[in-house]
Every structure is written in C-alpha cells, then in structure tokens.
Chain A
Amino acid sequence: MPNNNIMKYIRYEFNDKEQADSKIEAFYNEEGELTTDAAFIRLNKFVMTEGTYDSEGVEITAPVLSTGYALDVLWRDLDASPYGWKSYEVTPSNPKHKLL
C-alpha cells in the first residue's frame, strides 16, 4: 500500500547543476537504484521577469532569471531534510513550481 505516513515536499537552491546532481547521486547505489523513497524534480532556473520583443521578435529587454539551481524534492519516508541538505532549503514567496 502507498506510504501515507510521512511525506515532505521541500525546495532547495544549489549553486549549480553539478552540486545538485552530486547530492542526488548520493542516494543511488552501484546498480543505479534509488536507495530512498523520494522524487527529485530538477527545476534549474525560473524566469522572474519575461523578456520583451518587438514585432519582428527582436529582443528589447532580456528575461531576468533566478539565481542558483532550483530542485524540489518529495521525501516520502522523511519528515525533514536529510543530513547535508538542510542548509540549501529555501522558502520562496512565489515558488514558480508546484506538484500537480
């Protein structure tokens, strides 16, 4: 049956993709199997302000992107971030992403 006992959905912001990947890879064993019950959602950067373009599609102002590398995680068997993740937690006022 589904594990409905513990579930935690947390946003993290890492310096870059490589740092996020290394954090995630620590949860995979040598056979490439995930060793924790979690869903990792790699979000990268968000568009904070849309770019503007003229009628020919030429950029007038460039889009403004978020900083860092965003990663959402649904931890299904943890009620808090695992060791080494807590310091990368963020709580944006406008998350820009949600679970359906």
Chain B
Amino acid sequence: MGIDRRKFVKVAGLAALGFAARPPIRAFGQEITGESLEIRESKAGELLSGAVEEIKRAPHPPKNANRWAMVIDLRKCREHQDCTACIDACHKIHNVPSYPKPKDEIKWIWKEHFNHAFPDADHDFIEEEVKHSNALLLCNHCDNPPCVRVCPTQATWKREEDGLVMMDWHRCIGCRYCIAACPYGSRSFNYREPKKFLEEQGIKPQPDFPTRTRGVVEKCTFCEERLARNLWPACVEACPYNALTFGDLDNADDPVRILLHDNFTIRRKPGLGTQPEVYYIV
C-alpha cells in the first residue's frame, strides 16, 4: 500500500542526488530560491529514511493554497477496478441522490471508460491494461473555466485566492448554459427535487451539507466546505490506495508538485485552453 518498490527506489535515488540534477522550478515566472531547494533537499533526506511515511498524505491539507489541484494516479485505480470508495464518500457527504433514471442522474465524481475520458490518447494497440480501464472524472476546476465565462448571473465563479470553481445554488437560475459550455461533462442539473427523493429512499441528508433545490446546476466543489475546516476533500480522504493527491500547485514542495515533477501526467482536452487542474498519471 502507499508506495511501491520502484517508486521507493526512485525517490531514494533522487534523494541521494540531493535533487541536484533537477532543473530549477519556476512558479509564476519566479525561480524558486536556493533556500527552498535546500528545504527540499532536507525533505528528500527525510524521504530516504522514511519514504513511505512522507509520500503518504499529511493529516491535514495546507491551510492556505494559491492554486488547488489534484493528481490522480490511474495506475492505482487500475489495480482496484471495482473500488468506488471516493465516489461513495463524495456522493454521501454531499447528499447527491442516485436517481433510478439515468436522464435525471447527478454525479460529482464518476468513472468513465479510458478512451472516452482521453479520446486523444486512445489507439487500437494501447496497452491492454489501460484499454479496459476506467478513469476517474470530476470537475477540473479550470484556470480558465468556460462555465464561469458563460454564466449569466455569476452563480458559478472562480475563487481568485485559491482557484476553486464555486457554485451559488441560491443564485443559479437553472439555464444550464454552463452545462453546454463545460467540455468535460462535469456538471449536473437537478431535474427532480433531491430532498424529496432522499426522503422517499429513507436517506437522512447529511446535516452539515445543504441539499440542493430542484432546478439548479451542481458539480464537484473540491470540497471547499471541508478545506475551510482544514480537512482533505472527501474523495482524497476516502481513497484506501492513496491514488488521489491534492494540494497547492503553487508550492514547489507540495506533494502534488512532486508527483507532477516525477511522473508524466496528462490532462483532459488540454488543447481547449481551459487549463484543467486535475492531472492524471496513466
């Protein structure tokens, strides 16, 4: 669990090199100073002694972030194809109803066949394992979100301090323009009255998260309500295999950045210029 052997060797190797071989890391066009590289070196030293502990998630997310982002390790997801821990946790704590008819469906995080999620990465002779696998999809919390651009009431907006794409369910008029504008299919509309359905199903809504009203759009919020309480997003916390890594993209020492640096990652439809902030290790 957590870290495999190959990974350990790699981390240890990097640590032994003292990260000296790394190119300077840039953040907002500014070179990370030597000081912070030293910090990284010492962290790498810690890694050497207790690599498994270090790569594991900290008990709490950073209190502040300039740019929240997520890295999903699909290799880990592939090892546990039947696992739905993240989906279950998210949908439960956010009172997302599971309607019987697919047309009413609401989903914040879900699985999609790899070739549907990444049509550009698909080909006939793709690695068997990948070909028959699923990818985990959710709102990409784009840096340049088209949903925000089109919303006529600013009921969905980008929070400038940390980049989350937010929703105001009391302002949304239910025009569904954001659904048309989202290139990732990340948004759902409340065709039915969710509260009534949950009652019918005998499901008691979670008291610390609002049920939505009929006729508004909703989506993944990167658990802004949990981040505010210094908790990890529910999906990240629920994953038993540590496949989801969440953190501040603007901090070169954040696990998210380390993963992005050490692995080749892809994003969904990068050519559209939306700058999605969910990265995938395939």
B is bound to A: no
Chain B residues in the interface with A (C-beta under 8 A) = none
Chain A residues in the interface with B (C-beta under 8 A) = none
